[in-house]
Amino acid sequence: MNLNCNANPDKPRGFFQKHEPALDLDLGCLYEFTDGSKGVVQALGNAFAALDSTTRSTIIRLDGDDRSGTVAAGENLLIDLAHVERIKRILVFALIYEGAANWAAADGVATLFPAVGPSVTIRLDDPRDGARICAIAMLEPRGGALQVHREVSYLDGGQRALDEAYNWGMRWTAGRK
């Protein structure tokens, strides 16, 4: 899964050349494995990977944190399909960490690159203020592969609100980059 944006962060606007705030969109996921372990993969808190508790293999990995919105490759969430049998569910999300007041202003684009078949592009374009997090897709194992359910559900709040909406049952503490 890739997250990118088309907004022009920190560009001058208006007569007095005021600058729009830098745009920082973050890609991440809540995960639950079949052994009952669960957590979050995200840039916040430097939680860039989820490991299999028995083999210590990386199952989910975030490749980096584009804090400026200017990295052409955006942010990428990678799932090792060799470990599908260890996955119970994965909820992929995008978060406006800083900048745009709503998703329409951020002009976010999520693209899913499945192992087989064409890519799927999802525009994140809700104009409503306050919805800083968007559940993009739920991934669950079916027949040895991950089945993807499109969610595109915008929520007011952050990861805790997402957790509550999808009954993940995790404990949250404040974090920062």
| Whole-Å CA distances, 32 to 21, 45, 53, 88, 135 | 35, 18, 12, 5, 15
Q: Which two tokens stand for residue 8?
A: 């022009």
The distance from CA 14 to its chain's CA centroid, rounded to whole angstroms, is 32
Reported confidence tier of residue 115, pLDDT bands at 50, 70, 90: confident
DSSP reduced 3-state for 52:
coil
pLDDT score, position 8:
53
pLDDT score, position 17:
47
pLDDT higher than 70, residue 156 = yes
- List, for residues 7-53, the tens digit of each pLDDT value: 654 455 455 545 555 788 999 999 999 999 999 999 988 899 999 88
Question: Which of 121, 107, 104 has its CA nearest to residue 69?
Answer: 107
pLDDT score, position 90:
98
Please report the domains of the chain, with CATH numbers, ordered by start residue.
2-165 (2.60.60.30)
Are the CB atoms for 35 and 57 separated by under 8 Å?
no
Q: Which two tokens stand for residue 58?
A: 């990386």
CA distance 82 to 91: 19
CA distance 110 to 119: 10
| Whole-Å CA distances, 92 to 8, 20, 21, 64, 139 | 24, 28, 26, 15, 8
Are the CB atoms for 124 and 137 separated by under 8 Å?
no
CA distance 109 to 156: 19
97 strand-pairing partners: none
* Phi, psi (degrees; rounded to nearest 5) at 82: -70, -10
- List, for residues 45-104, the tens digit of each pLDDT value: 889 999 988 888 999 999 977 666 566 678 999 999 999 999 999 999 999 988 877 899
pLDDT score, position 2:
94
